[in-house]
Amino acid sequence: MLNKYARAFFTRVLTPFAAFLLRRGVSPDAVTLIGTAGVVAGALVFFPRGEFFWGTITITAFVFSDLVDGNMARQAGVSSRWGAFLDSTLDRVADAAIFGGLALWYAGSGHDNLLCAVAIFCLASGQVVSYTKARGESIGLPVAVNGMIERAERLVISLVAAGVSGLEKFGVPSWIGVLLPVALWVVAVGSLVTLVQRVVTVRRESAEADAAEAEAAAGRAAAEGGAV
């Protein structure tokens, strides 16, 4: 849902900035690489130390590169399969760093193996949710379903909760720290539901496609038999 509405809004907001970067000779691929590097650094430097506020600020500063690079490519008329591949691949790297950083915190100073496991599940399920759509489309299916929680929802829920939880170090009451565990559970359950939704959709669409192909083959066979 956020992909549908928020992406269009931020694309319009970031269009002048994308044009500015193009005038300075910056390439869309460079923005993709720098943005991913910033997200990975913010997640793996700050999150394992429990610095959730500053980690979230750093990640947020770079995460919008995902919108800027595509905007730049469209403005410059250089959209390509390579650019789309690079962007999608590095999105997975950034997501893994975010949830990996949270898992490292809970495995270490956070002293909570259960939440470590939940964070790892969020990491893995997010990768698989993205893969199911990509794989379904690669075999010619529309995969006409978004699901409960997509990448945008995963990032917003997790980063907002992490950033707010990090305010505990600035004197905010300690109960605020419960928001991050709750967010991780929400993302985990939502990702599982989304995965099931996509698998069910691919199964239905593949059955329909196979039936249509079989019917077409039968029709061709009947036509050839009649011609003989």
Q: Are 2 and 158 in contact (CB under 8 A)?
A: no
Question: Do 152 and 111 form a contact (C-beta atoms < 8 A)?
Answer: no
From 91, 95, 112, 210, the catalytic residue: 91
Place of tokens 């691929």: 29
3-class DSSP assignment, residue 145: coil
| Alpha-carbon dihedral angle through residues 153, 157, 159, 163, given to the nearest 10 degrees | 160
Distance in angstroms (rounded) separating the CA atoms of residues 195 and 189: 10
The verdict on whether 91 is a catalytic residue reads yes
> What residues are annotated to the active site?
91
